[in-house]
Structure 1
Amino acid sequence: MFNLIFKDILIQKKVFLIYIASIMIYLLIDVSPIPIVVVCSLSFINMALSYDEKDNANILLNSLPYTRKEIVSSRYIGVLIFTSLFIMLTYGGSFLLNGKETPFSWKAILFIMGLVMVAISFMLPVFYKFKRQYLVFAAGALFGIYLATIKFLVPNLNETLRELTRKFLALQETQMYLVAILTIAILYIGSWLLSIRIYERKAF
């Protein structure tokens, strides 16, 4: 199964230079590490999904000695591995640029992992049920709604989101974090099982 995860890294090994350069640029202009890691992680997964749709890749995958359950599971496990990798890259990049440790608290790491896991929980079942183009349409629609909200409803939405993030990271209630972790874990596992069921029923 881990060969399937490693496949995504090999396919995008040249693109990794772009990810690293993007991380450095964002750090230089003092962007928060949280959106950097989230955007890079989701971009990496989106690129991996696009390769899965090319040249009948799914037919090739299903001809290999892997079950469909293993193919889907490798994607969900890979998300956690790739996100952790981008966290380390961002942390290391900040250390090189600033000469000091990035304030990457365990709360920030949990927040990043939670955001990515929630996004993936909705993305992958849609991808396995339909096609990647539906993800593109959905992302475009959400971005349009986001811009319309800033323009007409909540002009200071970006600052509000930043303030909510700061408040979340400043919370000291451990019980609340446990509830959030459990909720996201249930959502992620539920999405995982749903994707397996969808993929096992697909004909290639």
Structure 2
Amino acid sequence: MFNLIKRDFILLKRQLLVFLLLILFFVLMGKHDPAFIFLLASIIIPVNTIAYDEKPETNILLNSLPYTRNEIIASRFLGAIVFIILATGVTSALMYIFNRPFSIPDIAIGSSIALLLLSLYLPMSYIIKPGYSSPFALVSFLVLAGIVPPIVSYFGERLTSLTDFLVNLPVSIFYTSALVLGIVFYGTSWGLTTFIYRRKAF
């Protein structure tokens, strides 16, 4: 299974420099929120690895290897976590080198949203017609980036009691709750994607 993750690194080795330059561009611009930069860095590589496997012949090849369908999906979800950790480390290093301020909450927010988006995208990538999942991911990302902040701001202004409750929560409880919720959501997506992939014909 871990050889499948290694395979993704090999397939993407020519694009890693492009990803690095893209993140560096956003870091040097200094106009974007650090959490957004961590989100972008965390999600771009997993989405590209999934794009490689959209072709039916690729899935036929994968299923001809000595791996079960459960292991193929597990490599997708575990690989996404590995890429997020590496992307977070590289982005943190770049922001430190170029004296761009960031904080642990920025990393936590960016990584959490990346996991949430991937939890939605991974099962959809096996439902949507091959060749359309990457455009779907791009459009969804842009739409969410445009509508989520205003929605959060709208409810934050009107649901003051809920906002006050969240603000007054101890930091440890807040992050622990977010982590547990993220694990539950990611685990549910993992199970759903496995269920879909087991029944998919190639």
**TM-score bracket relative to the smaller structure:** 0.7 to 0.9
* CA distance, structure 2, for counterparts of residue 142 and residue 35 of structure 1: 11
Correspondences of 1:131-150 after superposition (within 5 Å):
131=129, 133-134=132-133, 136-137=135-136, 139-140=138-139, 143=142
Could you tell me the TM-score, scaled by structure 1's length? 0.79
What are structure 1's unaligned runs of at least 5 residues?
151-155
- The CA deviation at 1:124 is 0.8
Q: Tell me the amino acid that sits aligned with residue 76 of structure 1.
A: F
Structure-2 residue corresponding to 1:85: 86
Deviation per CA, 1:38-93, whole angstroms, max 9, x where unpaired? 11332212211111023610000001111100000111011111011111111111
Deviating runs (4+, > 3 A) in structure 1? 141-147, 156-161, 167-173
Correspondences of 1:21-100 after superposition (within 5 Å):
21-30=21-30, 31-54=32-55, 56-98=57-99
Structure-2 residue corresponding to 1:129: 127
Deviation per CA, 1:23-52, whole angstroms, max 9, x where unpaired? 111111113332122113322122111110
Structure-2 residue corresponding to 1:186: 184
Deviation per CA, 1:134-184, whole angstroms, max 9, x where unpaired? 56346536745865x69xxxxx949959x99xx989974322222222111
Aligned residue pairs total: 192
* CA distance, structure 2, for counterparts of residue 139 and residue 170 of structure 1: 35
* CA distance, structure 2, for counterparts of residue 173 and residue 50 of structure 1: 37
CA RMSD of aligned residues (A): 3.2
What are structure 2's unaligned runs of at least 5 residues?
158-163
Cα distance, 1:191–1:145 mapped onto 2, change above 3 Å: closer
* CA distance, structure 2, for counterparts of residue 42 and residue 169 of structure 1: 27
* CA distance, structure 2, for counterparts of residue 59 and residue 197 of structure 1: 18
% identical equivalent positions = 30
Cα distance, 1:187–1:11 mapped onto 2, change above 3 Å: same
Q: Tell me the amino acid that sits aligned with residue 135 of structure 2.
A: V
Cα distance, 1:144–1:75 mapped onto 2, change above 3 Å: closer
Does the CA contact (< 8 Å) of 1:122 and 1:191 recur in 2? yes
Does the CA contact (< 8 Å) of 2:69 and 2:198 recur in 1? yes
